[in-house]
A = this chain, B = another copy of it.
């Protein structure tokens, strides 16, 4: 069976070896005569998987001992609620940097909680006025020196805008939504108070959320919330406060083991940058036909967006690509156009095939 060339924005394509491993042992995990999803989350078989997922994350991301790694549920959307609930106290304020649909969502959800407790949410910087086509640098941000934290989104999946250099917005605690920016390259975790992301891009299937947070920051979180809403409670329970999504965590383990096996973040970063270079070169080579609206310095390595001369051509592009075995190319419904997601498990050969198709399509329609 030929693998479909899958450029979905998430849930995204997963590494074939991780899936094959899941298939091969689906009915019989480690000779136990049961699926891993039938094991108790308190039994040694699952706990070994859980601990391996956590230690692979720590190793691959080089997470320092100062930081905790949590495996939660609910995706980034749940974090949009939990972050202000834990860290935005009555009378306090938080800064949000808004550079696309996801950071805007994070900001508007935080504002709801702020209204409930009587706190303030400020937009410290935004690229709204240029239709989210650039990552606003810290120099342009109006930061509140008393903010409880600064929240920003390192890669905007819908708008294809990325902070390639992972800057720092002032000296208050930095909380970063890295959902579509996690685990494709090396970066220094230490400066962040908290980073989080849904697994369904580079880490595994949907239904698992990875949070990495400074232990000292977790300790500052509000203590009177229901336990499940407190990072502290999850940290104390090693992410076994309640029944975790065991099969999801198992798949995360498989993906991480694959990533380590092919050389870790150094190897995958090289591969990802090459894929993005192939695609942006194909766009720029036909700049009169393919137009990437994003400023060059903010072009995402993970989600490449571009337009064609008309919506009709865009529709034809998506339809014809599908006939060539390439799916997931339609831009998000809120912005239109084409979006190509280049997550870790996207094969370089798929990108080469797409670039070839783009050239051919332009020759036939340009």
User: Size of chain A's interface in residues, with CB distance under 8 A?
Assistant: 71
Contacts of A333 in B (CB 8 A): 42
* Docked complex: A88-131 residues within 8 A CB-CB of B: 109-110, 112-113, 115-116
Q: A78 an interface residue at 8 Å Cβ cutoff? A: yes
Q: Is the CB of A205 within 8 A of B245?
A: yes
From A42, which residue of chain B is reached at the shortest CB distance? Answer: B333
Interface string of A1-44 (1 = CB under 8 A from B): 11110101111111010011011001110001111011111100
From A23, which residue of chain B is reached at the shortest CB distance? Answer: B26
Q: Is the CB of A198 within 8 A of B243?
A: yes
From A22, which residue of chain B is reached at the shortest CB distance? Answer: B26
| Contacts A3-B33, A206-B37; A245 near B242 (Cβ below 8 A) | no
Q: Is the CB of A207 within 8 A of B248?
A: yes
Q: Is the CB of B81 within 8 A of A226?
A: yes
Give the complex CA separation of A205 and B208 in angstroms: 13
**Majority SS at the chain A contact face:** loop
Q: A325 an interface residue at 8 Å Cβ cutoff? A: yes
Q: Is the CB of A19 within 8 A of B27?
A: yes
Give the complex CA separation of A22 and B24 in angstroms: 11
Q: A244 an interface residue at 8 Å Cβ cutoff? A: yes
Q: Is the CB of B247 within 8 A of A205?
A: yes
Q: Known pairs A37-B251, A40-B328, A206-B244. 9 more at Cβ < 8 A?
A: A8-B40, A19-B35, A74-B242, A77-B242, A110-B226, A116-B224, A198-B243, A205-B246, A207-B247
